[in-house]
Amino acid sequence: MGRLTLNPMAHIDPMGLLLVMLVGFGYARPVPTNPRKIKYSWGNAAVAVAGPLMNLLLAVVAINTLQYLYLNGTALSDQQVLFLSYMAQINLLLMLFNLIPFGPLDGHYIMSWVLPANLRQRYDYYNGKYGAQLFLVLILLSIFGIPIFRFLMDFSRGLMPFLVFVG
């Protein structure tokens, strides 16, 4: 499908991009997986955690690159500092956001794996039935000015000092 690439154009969904431009929130093409090739009960959770882990890795690289350059006296422009700072914070925010355990987000696969079997079935049922609607309600409330995701933004800012290993 041409998706095994670092080229961001292969991952853009036209409708998701249009939503980003119109309402400030959108989505990319989902990563296709073949459930028949997943051999372990934790397989879906492992696939789901790959995205948030990559966001964490990118945040760690960005914030430590900034710290390394700062400590070595490298003259950085304001744009470079902003780019690396925002890169770290946005990736942490994306990681936390994708770990929300309902709707189409990665967190629901992880939550399903973590729960005991009797709760897992009930959770999967209700998430399948109402998860996307609940997710949409949260997005709409956020768009209309209710700071639903303020906690995630504040938490991502608070995490940044704990990711600095250079120094």
pLDDT (tens digit per residue) in 55-114: 999 999 999 999 999 999 999 999 999 999 999 999 999 899 899 998 888 899 899 889
Name 94's Cβ contacts closer than 8 Å, sequence gap at least 6.
52, 55
Instruction: Report yes or no: 92 and 100 within 8 Å, Cβ to Cβ.
Output: no
- The overall average pLDDT reported for the chain is 88
Instruction: Report yes or no: 152 and 93 within 8 Å, Cβ to Cβ.
Output: yes
Which pLDDT belongs to residue 103? 81
Per-residue pLDDT at 117 exceeds 70? yes
Which pLDDT belongs to residue 80? 94
> Comparing 1 with 147, which gets the higher pLDDT?
147
pTM: 0.82
CA distance 167 to 157: 19
Tell me the percentage of the chain whose pLDDT exceeds 90.
47
Per-residue pLDDT at 2 exceeds 70? no
Min mean pLDDT across 31-35, 57-61, 134-138 is at 31-35
Report in angstroms the alpha-carbon separations of 114 from 11, 42, 121, 125.
Answer: 29, 9, 12, 15
Which pLDDT belongs to residue 43? 86
Band (1; pLDDT cuts 50, 70, 90): low
The residue-averaged pLDDT of 21-28 equals 78
